[in-house]
Each structure stands twice: as structure tokens, then as C-alpha cells.
Amino acid sequence: MSVLAVILLLAVLIFVHELGHFLAARLQGIYANRFSIGFGPILFKYQGEQTEYALRALPLGGFVGFPDDDPDSTIPPDDPNLLKNRPVLDRAIVISAGVIANLIFAYFVLVAQLAFVGVPTVAYNPGVIVPQAIAQDVAAQAGIQDGDLIVAINGKSLGASEAAMNTLRQTIESSPGQSLQLSIERQGQPVTVNVTPKDDNGKGKIGVKLQPNFKVERKHPNNPIEVFTMAANEFQRIVVLTVQGFGQLISNFSNTANQVAGPVAIVATGAKIAQNDFASLFNFTALISINLAVINILPLPALDGGQLAFLLVEGIRGKPVPSGIQDGVMQTGLMLLLGLGVFLIIRDTVNLIPQ
């Protein structure tokens, strides 16, 4: 169910994006003859008075179609309500409306999270959890077991804070070959274990994975003003981090390209979040919606930003870029985009298969 929930969530985000384009056109009286979620063969369609609404087989996006270049259209080519006959500003509003819709949607998702779910806050408990003691390594041989809670080292309490795990790790790493006494709670009972870290290039290691001992609590804002204010702050934080992330990806592409996630990886991550804490899907939804907006505003062919770049050139030149050039660039960009999407789907699917 969690996978289906995330797939539905992504479909909603695509719908919101395309609905932004569609409404921006229709509210200005501009003709829009197609509203499609997905690409490729049509699975379902409904013919409205002016628009064909369709669900297609490849769920890699969507589009709003305009009758400007439709050879079957009966609308005169000089009709002022065709998109191509509108001023640059009108067209820019239509093209940018998808990005704006995703940003607005993300903000109100955060508002809903704060109003109905609350603000996630971390409450630390004493000690550090050992989720896994590696078999046959130092810790396991000394008697440390999976699930142990280390509360003190050499008689010094680790306390209940974010720094507890770093304190434990640094003490172990700085003590190669030295015996350390660990005070442990195991199923509510106190246990003492002596362990001697092995020397690994000058650092002590005992062969355990560590995990902070905390739980997430949710607190509700005190009033509606606080809800909208906190949502705005969180929205700004996510936007800044997203833009910075894309900046790092572009400036250091060779080292960060493997971090690019496709639809399969996004669904897998979302499903894991939904399985562990369904309420966290609010923040995940806002994050993906903002990412979708930022990606689409990039000045790349086949994206909204690429079309806005052509409009900018038209505004400067006083006449549009020749349609042959625009069509060639957009079609090439679309093929590259679909190819990248297929590559990411295959790569991420292979990565999910147990080795």
C-alpha cells in the first residue's frame, strides 16, 4: 500500500503542475485542446467541450496541448485566442504557471502538516543504541549484542543529547589497543562489557553500528498565524536547500551524477518513509513538489525553463525564434529527457534487486 500511495502522490504532483498550465491558459481565454497525464499510448480519455483529457501509459510526466499547430484544428490561424498569437507576457504566464502551482501546492502541504500532524521534534533519551554488532569482530567477541544500549564509557555517562553518539565514537577511535569499559542496558538489565578497540590506521574500531537513542514527537503550533509562519519558514528552508543542491550538482557533476534519482528510486524512498512514519509523507511531498518546480524552471530544452528562454529571446529581438529551430531543440530535448528517464528507471530498479 505504501508504494501505491507514493505513486498516487507523484501522479497528484504531475496533475497539479499541468493543471497550473491549463488554468493559466483557460482563465486568459486561451485555447487548450489536450490535458494529459503521462506520455505514449492513451489508456483512458474523456472528450470535453473544448479539451481532451487523457491518462497515458508512460507515467514520466504530462502535458497540456494547444491547437496552434494541430493540422486537424478548425480554429483560424489568426484567432487571437491561440497561444502563439498572444503577447509574450500572456504566454510566459501560461508556461511558468506549472512551476508556480507546484510551489503553492508545496507550501499548503506544509501548512496542512503543521495544522493536522504537527511539527516533528527530536527528544533524546540517554545512551547510544547498537543496532548491529558485526559477527566475529571485536565487539561481538567481547559480548556486545544487537539492540544493546550503551549508557556510559569508562564510567562517564553519555547522557541524553545529540552529542552522545559522537562522544562514544570519538572515545573508541582515540583508544586503539586500550581497554574500555562499556556500561550497557540489555532488556532493562545493567551489563558491563570490557572491549579493546583494534588499531585501524591509527583509529580504534570495535565493529559495531551506532544509532542515536531518540524518538520523534510532534507538537502543534499554538494558533493559525503560527501555522502559516512556520510553514513559510520551512518552505523557504527547503527551497534554499534544493537550489543549493542543484547548484552543487551542476558545478560538480562528475562526482554527484550518481546521486540523481529517477522515479523508481523516488517511489522506493517514499514507500520506506510511508512505512516507517506515514505522517512524514507531508514533508516528502513538499520536497518533491519543490524539486519538480526547480527542475522545470531550468533553461533546458523540453522543460518550462527552455520555453521561457525562447520567450526571453523573442522579447529582446522583438520577433520569435524561427519555429523550425524551436521544434528541433524541443524535440531533441524531449528525446534526451525520456532517454534519461528510462535510464534512471532501469538503474534504480537494478539497484533495488538484492545482490
Residue 217 falls in the annotated catalytic set: no
Q: Specify the higher pLDDT residue, 19 or 273.
A: 19
DSSP structure class, residue 319? S
- Rounded to whole angstroms, the Cα distance separating 247 from 180 reads 45
Q: What is the pLDDT of residue 346?
A: 44
Cβ neighbours for 332, distance < 8 A, ≥ 6 positions apart: 301
| pLDDT above 50 (res 274) | no
Domain boundaries, the chain: 2-115+268-352, 121-217
| pLDDT above 90 (res 135) | no
Nearest to 214 by CA among 300, 124, 142: 124
In contact, 321 and 313? CB cutoff 8 Å: yes
Q: What is the pLDDT of residue 257?
A: 44
Which residue is it, cell 532517454?
339
Task: Return the CATH class of domain 121-217.
Answer: mainly beta
Here the cell at position 108 is: 499548503
Q: Which long-range contacts (CB under 8 A, 24 or more apart) does 305-311 make?
A: 306/330, 306/333, 307/95, 308/92, 308/95, 308/96, 311/88, 311/91, 311/92, 311/95
> 214 - beta bridge partners?
124
DSSP structure class, residue 145? -
- Rounded to whole angstroms, the Cα distance separating 273 from 281 reads 7
Q: What is the mean pLDDT of residues 328-343?
A: 58
CB atoms under 10 Å from CB of 165, counted, come to: 20
Q: What is the pLDDT of residue 347?
A: 46
Model pLDDT for residues 176-222, shown as the tens digit of each residue: 889 989 899 998 899 998 999 988 888 889 988 888 888 877 788 88
Q: Specify the higher pLDDT residue, 56 or 265.
A: 56
| pLDDT above 90 (res 272) | no
User: E strands along the chain, which residues?
Assistant: 34-47, 52-65, 119-133, 148-153, 156-157, 180-186, 189-195, 198-200, 203-205, 208-219
Q: What is the pLDDT of residue 18?
A: 93
Range with the poorest average pLDDT among 92-106, 161-175, 299-313:
299-313
Q: Which of 73-77, 78-82, 350-354 has the highest mean pLDDT?
A: 78-82
| pLDDT above 50 (res 1) | no
- Rounded to whole angstroms, the Cα distance separating 18 from 65 reads 10
Here the cell at position 12 is: 497528484
- Rounded to whole angstroms, the Cα distance separating 198 from 25 reads 68
Q: What is the pLDDT of residue 17?
A: 93
Range with the poorest average pLDDT among 29-43, 117-131, 284-298, 312-326:
312-326
In contact, 183 and 153? CB cutoff 8 Å: yes
- pLDDT band of residue 254 (cuts 50, 70, 90) is very low
Q: What is the pLDDT of residue 350?
A: 42
- pLDDT band of residue 343 (cuts 50, 70, 90) is very low
Q: Specify the higher pLDDT residue, 278 or 353.
A: 278
- Rounded to whole angstroms, the Cα distance separating 270 from 281 reads 7
Q: What is the pLDDT of residue 26?
A: 93
Say which of 18, 217, 226, 234 is annotated catalytic: 18
Which residue is it, cell 510551489?
103
Residue type, 236: Q
Q: What is the pLDDT of residue 218?
A: 78
DSSP structure class, residue 306? H
Here the cell at position 128 is: 547510544
- pLDDT band of residue 270 (cuts 50, 70, 90) is very low
> 35 - beta bridge partners?
53, 64
Range with the poorest average pLDDT among 201-210, 239-248, 273-282, 331-340:
331-340
In contact, 90 and 314? CB cutoff 8 Å: no
Q: pLDDT averaged over the chain?
A: 81
